[in-house]
Structure formats: C-alpha cells, structure tokens
Chains A and B, each alone.
Chain A
Amino acid sequence: MSRRPFIRKMRRSWWLRRRRTLFYMMRELTSLFIGLYSALLALGLVQLARGSQAWDSFIALITSRGGVIFQLLCFAFALFHSVTWFAVTPKAVPLSAPAKAVIGAHYAVWAVISVVVLLLAGRFVDGSIQ
C-alpha cells in the first residue's frame, strides 16, 4: 500500500469563514486606523511648528466634515480595539486575580488617564484663550 498524503491549501478567504477569525482580522485592521490617526497628530505638530497660518489650515482640516468623519471612524476602531483587548487581558496577566478584576482595573486606569488628559488639555486650551 502506497502513501500519498494529501496537502490542503489554505484559502485566501480563510478569515471570512468563522466569526472569531473575522473578529480577529477586524482587530488587526484597527492598527491601520490608529496608524493613520497618529500620522494626523504628527501632521498637526508639523503645521504648529510652521506658524499660525499653517496651524489654522490644520484646524480647518480637522473640523471639516471629512475630517470629523475620519476622526469618528478612527475613534470607533480605537474603541473596538481597546474593548476587545481589555476582554482578553486576563489571559496575558500572570496573576491568579479574577478575570473581572483584571478587566475592571484596565477600564479604571483608562478612565483615570482620560480624565487627566482632558484636564491637561483643558488647561492648555484655557491658556491659549487668555
């Protein structure tokens, strides 16, 4: 009897076949939007360094309809990334703490950092107005 093991090829659409792999690929895709948003922030810094006219054009860009839609899209993907990441953090933490506590701690730190950033941003905005 002869052996002739058959090797199956992986389809290009492998990630569409199951919900969990579709979710996984969506998570991977979030990095693209986070990268693009980081580029937008870098552009803001460059325009700020180039003077008030350049800065004003940057502000016009990010407050335009397209700019707002882009930022909302980035925000949605960042949110999806964070929520799904927090959900799997108990696996990556080598502690015997309950999963809910690990996830809860991440949300708590997220909230605290958000408040600190908002307070700092508020102070800078006030400073520029006065």
Chain B
Amino acid sequence: MSDTVLLSITRYDPEKHSEPVFQSYTVPYHEDWVVLDALNYIKDNLDGTLTFRWSCHMAVCGSCGMMINGEPKLSCNAFLRDYQDKTIKVEPLDGFPIERDVVVVIDSFMVKLASVKPYLIAKEERALSEGEYLQTPAQLAVFKHYTQCINCLLCYAACPQTKLNEDFIGPAALALAHRYNLDTRDGGKKARAETVTSNEGIWECTFVGACSQVCPKHVDPAAAIQQTKISASVDWFKSLLQGNRS
C-alpha cells in the first residue's frame, strides 16, 4: 500500500477558466481518512484556492456531495481506503451548474423543494390549550425513513431524468412531499398535488431507481415516487367516480 494518494480534482475559476479543468494533488494516505480530509489537507497545505462545501464531517449536514470516481457520494463518507491504488477523481455533482471548483449552484433545487410545500399543513387548526397533535409510533413508522433526507442532492446527481428535463421536481423533493402526505397530522395532500402530480412531478420519473441506490440516508425516493403514483391514480379514480355521481 502506497503512503500517498493521488487526487484529480475539477478546477473552475469563472475569472480564469473558460471551462473546467482537472488538477492533480498528492496527499498522504491515512486509513481513517475520507476524501473530505484529503480536500482539507490540500486547502490547508498545498493550495488554499481549492473551493468546496462542507460542514459537519459526519454525513448529517448534506453539504459535501461530490462525484467521486463518477459516483455521487458525500465526500465525508467516502474512505480513501476504498479507492486503493487508484487515482481518485473528484468532480462537482452532476446535473448542476458549477459555481467554482467542486461547488455547484443549487438554486433550482431550492425552488423545487419549496414548490412541494415540505412542511405540516395542519388538518385542523387547534387552539394552544387543546394540546399537541398526537401520533402513535406505528403512525410515525409509516413515514419516518423519509424524514431522514438531508438535501445532499446525491439523488439528483444520479437521476438521468432530472438532467433530461430540468423542470422535473426530482427525487428528494417528491420524497419529502410523500413524507408529509403520509403524516396523520397533515392535511396538505391536495395543495401539494398541484405540483406533485403535474407534468413536472411524479410522472416524469421513469423508475430508473438510481436515486435510492446512491442515497446515503436510505430514504428510498424511488419507492416514495412509485407509491405516490399509485396514490395519485387512486385519487384520480375516486374524483372521477364522485364526479359521475353528482
């Protein structure tokens, strides 16, 4: 095992480069280092101009998503030891404009996220004196894994549909919409349906399944979207029957 690792990293300075280029750096190898440690080593010791996002270093904040050897990964969760004897290629997340180096512009996602109303819309407004909106552990278990999303955007980088149609709401936002729709305290399903079941919503998903494969928090957006398709179809049939009756 070599005691150094070679990293080939995308560099893009909008004031210098007309398009992104690769730059190589040799960093010391440590068995317990992740790619983010190597990037921080470069920034601290070799090249202070290297720009990347990170915050928690423990797969919670969702800031440090990058393409590592072509696969969307959290750089704090990608160990150097898993890329032994290979150059590690670090690129910005696929499908997003590059702001600088491996930092991407995520404005489009922020708009999509807001469009699905990812918050509780109370079924019935209650006075404070009436107490909490109670929920049983079984009711929570139905959607709990969807709450684990950290908006790291690895699923968007993995999904070909989000790149083929840039208006597609995409995996994380649709999974969050499903999470709130499943919540027993929520009454916002109709309000969300406007976006969720639109042309840019669930029906743009062709069930590639890549989003669920790369999700570091096991949220399984592909499942959320397929289940939303079923639920939306049932709602459509119901509205059709009710329409005929009246």
Which residues from chain A sit less than 8 Å from chain B, CB to CB?
1-8, 10, 14-15, 17-18, 20-21, 24, 28, 88, 90-94
B99 and A5 contacting across the interface, CB-CB below 8 Å: yes
CB of B12 closer than 8 Å to a CB of A: yes
B160 touches A15 (CB 8 A): yes
Give residues of chain B (114-169) contacting chain A, Cβ–Cβ below 8 Å: 160, 163-164
CB-CB < 8 A to A2: which residues of B? 14-15
Is the CB–CB distance between B226 and A20 below 8 Å? no
CA distance A90 to B215 in the complex (A): 17
29 pairs of residues in contact across A and B, judged by CB atoms under 8 Å: A1-B15, A2-B15, A3-B14, A4-B14, A4-B15, A5-B14, A5-B98, A5-B105, A6-B20, A6-B97, A7-B98, A14-B160, A15-B160, A17-B70, A20-B208, A20-B209, A21-B208, A21-B210, A24-B160, A24-B208, A28-B206, A88-B222, A90-B223, A91-B209, A91-B212, A91-B227, A92-B229, A94-B230, A94-B231
Measured CB to CB, the closest approach of chain B to A50, in angstroms, equals 39
Contacts of A3 in B (CB 8 A): 14, 99
| Chain B residues at the A interface, C-beta cutoff of 8 Å | 12, 14-15, 19-20, 70, 94, 97-99, 105, 160, 163-164, 206-210, 212-213, 220, 222-223, 226-227, 229-231
> A2 to B212, alpha carbons, bound, how many Å?
37
* Whole-angstrom distance between the Cβ of A4 and the nearest chain B Cβ: 4
CA distance A6 to B104 in the complex (A): 9
Closest 9 pairs between A and B when the two form their complex, measured CB to CB: A5-B97, A4-B14, A91-B223, A92-B226, A6-B98, A94-B227, A24-B208, A5-B105, A7-B97
Task: Report yes or no: A20 in contact with B230, Cβ–Cβ below 8 A.
Answer: no
Min C-beta distance of A17 to chain B, whole Å: 7
Contacts A21-B208, A24-B208, A92-B227; A10 near B164 (Cβ below 8 A): yes
- A28: which B residues are within 8 A, CB to CB? 206
Instruction: Report the bound CA distance from A10 to B157 in whole Å.
Output: 12
List of A residues within 8 angstroms of B98 by Cβ = 5-8
Please indicate which of the listed interface residues A5, A10, A20, A28 has the most CB atoms of chain B within 10 Å of its own CB: A5
**Interface hub of B163, B210, B213, B226 (most chain A Cβ within 10 A):** B226
Residue of B nearest to A6 (CB): B98
Q: How far is the CA of A21 from the CA of B206 in the complex (A)?
A: 12
